[in-house]
């Protein structure tokens, strides 16, 4: 219907670590080569839980964008922007709030979960309740088809689908819809119009999904339709009204398997991270002081790699031969732990080297980052503006 856009956002948590890289950024970097992508900093979302400490948000935001760039997110392929710089997100959030049932928001699982988990924070605010609706606005305003997220965010994408459906149901039924749809079909020319009618009937009467996708493909290839007609026809094919907002799908990102320095998942709150800008000496030091199999007290004691967090890093970084070397060396006491750790240090440093180099360019000249984001904001604003025109019109708010 629209081009297959991918959109994702991250709250500005400051500088990122290897867990983010293996869990999220590598995935974004791949997606940007396959789809038009939009990646943004969800700074308003940060304020929903940290409204009392807004000071950190901006710095965290720039640090994070530098790390995205360092990790290979390419501003020539993806649009990078900051949520709060596109005021249209707030407008859509407000308009959606008119029709978003309170019960839907209260039932989003993260609402109660987070209130319990972050009990030291005041989360009994209007803004926090609206968190998923703001996220829905982020997604819907770009008519994104795919939203790469971790498992915890899937309910938010589901919620977004429901909001889109409700919106289209409420506002997609304009007066004279059927006639307008039929007039639009005629514009396709006799042959194609006949085929489209046939396919629609097959879908509506026989439920043939294939007929629907063929009909959609036919519309996709039709150059001479206005956007309004296109929205009408996509809705009309399925027996509904205009499809103004697009229902997105979550692209589930596998939970990061990146182990931290203590064997638990790498996470800032566990203090077990290696940052993307960690210098080589610091990487070496952190790995050298990592705990190992506690049963391997002396160099001559054989160890059990499965009980050692260093082994978990070998599983991420080493090839089969290296893994065999480490495993055999450990279980036979053939190698010492420092020896075992060295290839991990080398591999992490090799992975970080190009990231450090890229980050340095942006740290030396911060205007580069400002310009990339300004350019991304401009592009995002244009796309958001297109959707808002349709939304305002559908809700009876176009005063021109
Ligand atoms: N809520 C997301 C998170 O905490 C961040 C986010 C905000 C987001 N808006 C989004 C993610 C839109 C995907 C799409 O990770
Ligand atoms: Fe861990 Fe390697 Fe030491 Fe075995 S040899 S305990 S795997 S660091």
Give the C-alpha separation, 21 to 258, whole Å: 9
Contact 195, 203 (CB under 8 A): no
- The response to whether residue 133 sits with its C-beta less than 6 Å from ligand 1 reads no
| Ligand 1, atom nearest to 7 Cα | 14
Centroid of ligand 1 to alpha carbon of 242 (angstroms): 27
Give the C-alpha separation, 308 to 324, whole Å: 15
| Ligand 2, atom nearest to 340 Cα | 2
For 6-172+246-256+366-394, CATH number out of 3.40.50.150, 3.30.1240.10, 3.40.50.620, 1.50.10.20 equals 3.40.50.620
**Measured CA distances, 382 to 129, 209, 285, 378, 379 (Å):** 29, 34, 48, 6, 5
Residue 57 neighbours by CB distance under 10 Å:
19
Residue 270 neighbours by CB distance under 10 Å:
13
Give the C-alpha separation, 370 to 146, whole Å: 27
Give the C-alpha separation, 93 to 133, whole Å: 6
Beta bridge partners of 251: 148
pLDDT at 2: 64
Residue 228 neighbours by CB distance under 10 Å:
15
pLDDT at 1: 53
Say which ligand is closest to the CA of 133. Answer: 1
HSE of 119 in the Cβ direction (CA atoms, 13 Å)? Answer: 2
Query: Among 264, 284, 282, which residue's Cα sits nearest to residue 347?
Result: 284
pLDDT in tens, 161-206: 999 999 998 998 888 888 999 999 999 999 999 999 999 999 988 8
Centroid of ligand 1 to alpha carbon of 394 (angstroms): 26
Give the C-alpha separation, 304 to 116, whole Å: 38
Span(s) in the chain for CATH 3.40.50.620: 6-172+246-256+366-394
Residue 32 neighbours by CB distance under 10 Å:
21
Query: Among 393, 287, 386, which residue's Cα sits nearest to residue 5?
Result: 386
- The response to whether residue 153 sits with its C-beta less than 6 Å from ligand 1 reads yes
- The response to whether residue 8 sits with its C-beta less than 6 Å from ligand 1 reads yes
Token pair for 356: 């450090």
- The response to whether residue 305 sits with its C-beta less than 6 Å from ligand 2 reads yes
On the 0-12 / 13-18 / 19+ scale of CB atoms within 10 A, 308 is buried
pLDDT in tens, 233-263: 998 998 888 889 999 999 998 776 799 999 9
- The response to whether residue 229 sits with its C-beta less than 6 Å from ligand 2 reads no
Span(s) in the chain for CATH 1.10.240.10: 277-364
pTM of the predicted model as reported, rounded to 2 decimal places: 0.89
Contact 38, 4 (CB under 8 A): no
pLDDT at 83: 98
What DSSP string runs through 375-387? Answer: HHHHHHHHHHHHH
Mean pLDDT, 10 residues at a time, over the chain (400 residues)? 87 93 95 97 94 88 97 98 98 97 93 89 92 98 96 95 94 86 93 94 89 92 88 88 92 85 92 96 98 95 96 96 97 97 98 97 97 98 96 91
Provide long-range contacts, Cβ within 8 A and 24+ apart, for 384-388.
384/86, 384/88, 384/89, 384/92, 384/141, 384/142, 385/88, 386/227, 387/88, 387/92, 387/140, 387/141, 387/142, 387/143, 387/245, 388/88, 388/91, 388/92, 388/141
List all residues 6 or more positions away from 256 whose beta carbon is below 8 Å from its beta carbon.
19, 20, 22, 23, 24, 265, 266
First-to-last alpha carbon distance for the chain, in angstroms, is: 27
Nearest-CA residue for ligand 2 atom 7 is 305
Centroid of ligand 1 to alpha carbon of 100 (angstroms): 18
For 277-364, CATH number out of 1.10.3720.10, 1.10.8.80, 1.10.530.10, 1.10.240.10 equals 1.10.240.10
């Amino acid at each position: 219907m629209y081009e297959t856009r991918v959109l994702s956002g991250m709250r500005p948590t400051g500088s990122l670590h290897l867990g983010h890289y293996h869990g999220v950024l590598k995935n974004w970097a791949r997606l940007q080569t396959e789809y038009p992508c939009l990646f943004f900093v969800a700074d308003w979302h940060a304020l929903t839980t940290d409204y009392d400490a807004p000071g950190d948000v901006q710095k965290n935001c720039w640090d994070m964008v530098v790390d995205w760039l360092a990790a290979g997110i390419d501003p020539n392929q993806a649009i990078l922007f900051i949520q709060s710089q596109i005021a249209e997100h707030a407008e859509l959030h407000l308009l959606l709030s008119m029709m978003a049932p309170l019960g839907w928001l209260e039932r989003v699982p993260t609402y109660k979960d987070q209130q319990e988990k972050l009990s030291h924070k005041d989360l009994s605010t209007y803004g926090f309740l609206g968190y998923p609706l703001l996220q829905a606005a982020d997604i819907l305003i770009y008519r994104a088809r795919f939203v790469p997220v971790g498992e915890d965010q899937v309910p938010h994408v589901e919620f977004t689908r429901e909001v889109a459906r409700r919106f289209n149901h409420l506002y997609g039924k304009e007066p004279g819809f059927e006639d307008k749809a039929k007039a639009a079909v005629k514009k396709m020319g006799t042959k194609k119009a006949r085929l489209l009618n046939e396919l629609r009937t097959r879908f509506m009467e026989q439920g043939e999904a294939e007929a629907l996708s063929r009909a959609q493909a036919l519309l996709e290839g039709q150059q001479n339709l206005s956007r309004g007609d296109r929205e009408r026809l996509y809705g009309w094919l399925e027996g509904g009204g205009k499809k103004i907002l697009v229902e997105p799908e979550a692209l589930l990102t596998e939970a990061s398997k990146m182990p931290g320095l203590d064997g638990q998942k790498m996470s800032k709150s566990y203090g077990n991270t290696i940052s993307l800008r960690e210098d080589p000496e610091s990487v070496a030091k952190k790995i050298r002081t990592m705990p190992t199999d506690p049963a391997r007290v002396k160099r001559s004691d054989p160890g059990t790699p499965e009980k050692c967090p260093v082994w978990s890093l070998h599983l991420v970084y080493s090839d089969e031969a290296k893994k065999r070397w480490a495993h055999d060396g450990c279980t036979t006491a053939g190698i010492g732990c420092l020896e075992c750790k060295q290839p991990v240090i080398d591999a992490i440093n090799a992975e970080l080297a190009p990231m450090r180099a890229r980050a340095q360019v942006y740290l030396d000249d911060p205007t580069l980052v400002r310009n990339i984001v300004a350019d991304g904001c401009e592009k995002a604003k244009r796309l958001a503006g297109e959707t808002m025109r349709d939304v305002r019109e559908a809700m009876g708010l176009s005063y021109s």
